[in-house]
Structure 1
Amino acid sequence: MIEWISGFQPVQQALIGTLFTYAVTALGAAMVFFFKNISKKVLDGMLGFAAGVMIAASFWSLLAPSIDMAEQMGMIPWVPPVIGFLVGGAFLRLVDKLLPHLHLNAPMSEVEGVKTSWHKSILLTLAITLHNIPEGLAVGVAFGAVAAGIPSASLAGAVALALGIGIQNFPEGAAVSIPLRREGLSRTKSFMYGQASGIVEPIAGVLGALLVLVMQPVLPYALAFAAGAMIFVVVEEAIPESQSSGNTDIATLGAMVGFAVMMTLDVALG
C-alpha cells in the first residue's frame, strides 16, 4: 500500500487517505442495514476505543513530530507545539460554541451551539462531524509534512495515521446511524446521515496538505493544532459520552485498546 501511494502527489495522497477514513465511516454507518439496535455496552466500548486512538494519534503522530520539527527548524522546541495545541483546542471550542449539534443520548433540550430548528438527525450528524474536522486535518498535515522533506516525517507514519483514524471511524459511523434508526428513521436515511458525518474529512485533509506545502514554517504549529483539536474532542465529548451510561470499565478498556492499536500502528509502520 505504501509503495502504491508513494506514486501520487502529496495533496492526492492526503485525498486518498481521507477518502479511506470517510469510507470506513460509511461502512460503520452501513451497520444500520443489519442492526436496528446496538448494545449500549458495545457502543460505549467502541466510543472508548475511538477516544484511545485519538489520544495516541495526538501524541505519536502529531505532537512528537511537531517538537522534532520545531527543533530542526531552529525554533524553541516547545513553543510551536504549545501554541499550536492551545489554538487547536480554542478553535474547536469556537466551532463547538457556534455549530448547532446534539451529543449522543442527550435530549433535544440540551442542543449546543446557536439556536436552530433543525431536526435531531441533523444535530446528531453535526456532533460527529466535529470529531472529523481535526481527524481529516491531521491526516492531511501528516502527508504534507512528508512532502516538505521533514526528516522525522515518513510516508509510512502518515499511512499509519490514516489507518488508525479510519479504524476508529467505524464505530463513529455506527454511533450516528443506529441511534437514528432507533428514533424511527428509515435504514436508508439513517445510513445517509451517518456517512455524511465523514464527508468533511477529505475536505479538511486536502486543506491541511495544501497549507503545509504553501507555508512550510507553520508545519510544527499545524501538527500541534490538529492534536489540540482532537484532544478537545476526546475530553469534551468522546470520553464523557462513553462513560455516561455507567459502563465505565468497558469504556476505559476500549480506550486502552484503542491507544495500544494506534501506538502499535505508528511505531511499527512509522
Structure 2
Amino acid sequence: MTYLLNFAPWQQALFATLFTWGVTALGSALVFAFKTIRSHALAMMYGFAAGVMIAASFWSLLDPAISLAEELDKTPWLVVSSGFILGGLFLYVADKIIPALYIRHNENEEPPHKIKQAILLVFSITLHNIPEGLAVGVAFGAIQAASSAQHATMVLAAVTVAIGIGLQNFPEGAAVSIPLRQNGMSRPRAFMYGQASGMVEPIAGILGALLVSYVSQILPYALAFAAGAMIYVACKELIPEAHARTKSESHWAIFGIMAGFTLMMILDVALG
C-alpha cells in the first residue's frame, strides 16, 4: 500500500483499474473450467457484488463527499444530491443508447441469434464499465486533492472502491463467457469476449484521476457522481440478475447482498 502511494494519482488509478480488469478476466476464465454454473452460486455472486457496491457508495464515496463539501464551504446536501442524481442519470441515458441485453434461455432461438445477443451484452457491460472506471479514478485522484487530515480516509476509500468494482466485475465476466460457450463458441474466444468488457476501465480511470487532481473544486461532485453510478448499476443490473438466477429461491440473492454489504461495511468502518 505504501509503495503504491509513491506514484502519481493517475498511475495509482491505472494500477487499480488494471486490477478490476483482471478480475473481469478471472471471471471470464471460469469458462475453461465450467460450461455452466449453478444458479444459486451465480445469484450469490451477483448479490454479493451488489452489496459491496451499495456499501462502498456511501462509506467510500458519499461520506467523504459530504466532508469535502463542508471544507469547501459548499452546501453539502445540495452538492451530494446533485452529483448522485447526475451519476444515475448518466447511466440511464447510457441504457437508452445501448439497451442492457441479458441472455435468457429460450429453446426456440437459434444459436447464432443467441451469440449475437451475447455479443451485444459485451457492449452493454462495456458501456457500464466506463463510469465504474471513472469511480475508481476519481477515488484515487481524491487522495491528492484531500487535506492531510483526510489523507488516510481517502486512501482507504480508493482501495475499497477498487475492490468493490473488482468484485462486481467477476460475475459479469462469467455471465458473458459462459453463455457464449453454451451456445457453441470456443472456450478461448468466449474468454476473449468476456474479458473485453473490462478493457475500458483503465482508460476511464486515468481520465477520472487526472480530472479530479487538477480541478479540486469538483471533487465532492465527482465522488457523489461515482456513487450514483454505482448504485444505478447495483439496482438496475446486479440485483435483478441475482433474483433472476433463482426466481422462487430469492433468499440466495438476498444472502449475497447482505454478505457483500457487511464485508464492505466492516472494511470501511473498522479500518477507517
Q: Are 1:164 and 1:265, in contact at CA under 8 Å, matched by a contact in 2?
A: no
Task: Provide the aligned C-alpha RMSD in A.
Answer: 1.7
Map 1:1-270 → 2, pairs under 5 A: 2-105=1-104, 119-150=116-147, 151-152=149-150, 153-244=153-244, 245-246=246-247, 247-270=249-272
Matched-pair contact (CA < 8 Å) for 1:140–1:207: yes
More helix by share: 2
Scaled by the length of structure 1, what TM-score is found? 0.90
TM-superposed CA distance for 1:154, in Å, is 2.5
Residues 111-157 of structure 1 show CA distances to partners (whole Å, capped at 9, x for unaligned) of xxxxxxx9223212123224422321111111111111344343233
Q: For the Cα contact (< 8 Å) 2:118–2:179, is it kept in 1? A: no
Deviations 1:76-128 (A, max 9, x none): 11111000011111110001100244124277xxxxxxxxxx92232121232
Q: Which whole-Å CA distance do the structure 2 matches of 1:130 and 1:45 have between them?
A: 24
Report the CA distance shift for 1:24/1:187 in structure 2 as closer, same or farther (over 3 A): same
**Alignment partners' CA distance in 2, 1:249 and 1:174:** 21
Q: Are the structure 2 counterparts of residues 148 and 35 from structure 1 closer, same or farther at C-alpha, using a change threshold of 3 Å?
A: same
Which secondary structure does the structure 2 equivalent of 1:6 belong to?
A: helix
Would the aligned equivalents of 1:137 and 1:204 in 2 still touch at CA under 8 Å?
yes
Q: 1:111: which partner in 2? A: none
What amino acid sits opposite 1:80 in the alignment? V
Deviation of the 1:225 alpha carbon: 0.6
Q: How many residues align?
A: 259
Q: Deviations over 1:225-263 (max 9, x none)?
A: 111111111212211121124131000100111111222
TM-score, normalised relative to structure 2: 0.90
Segment drifting more, 164-173 vs 9-18: 164-173
1:143 counterpart SS class: helix
- DSSP-derived class of the 1:35 partner: coil
Post-superposition Cα deviations, 1:20-68, rounded to whole Å, max 9, x if no partner, equal: 1111110111010010111111111111111111111111111111111
Instruction: Summarize the Cα distance change of 1:66–1:90 in structure 2 as closer, same or farther, 3 Å threshold.
Output: same
Gaps of 5+ in 1: 108-117
What SS does the corresponding residue of 2:76 show, helix, strand or coil? coil
Identity percentage over the alignment? 58
Q: Deviations over 1:206-237 (max 9, x none)?
A: 11111101211111110111111111112122
Deviating runs (4+, > 6 A) in structure 1? none
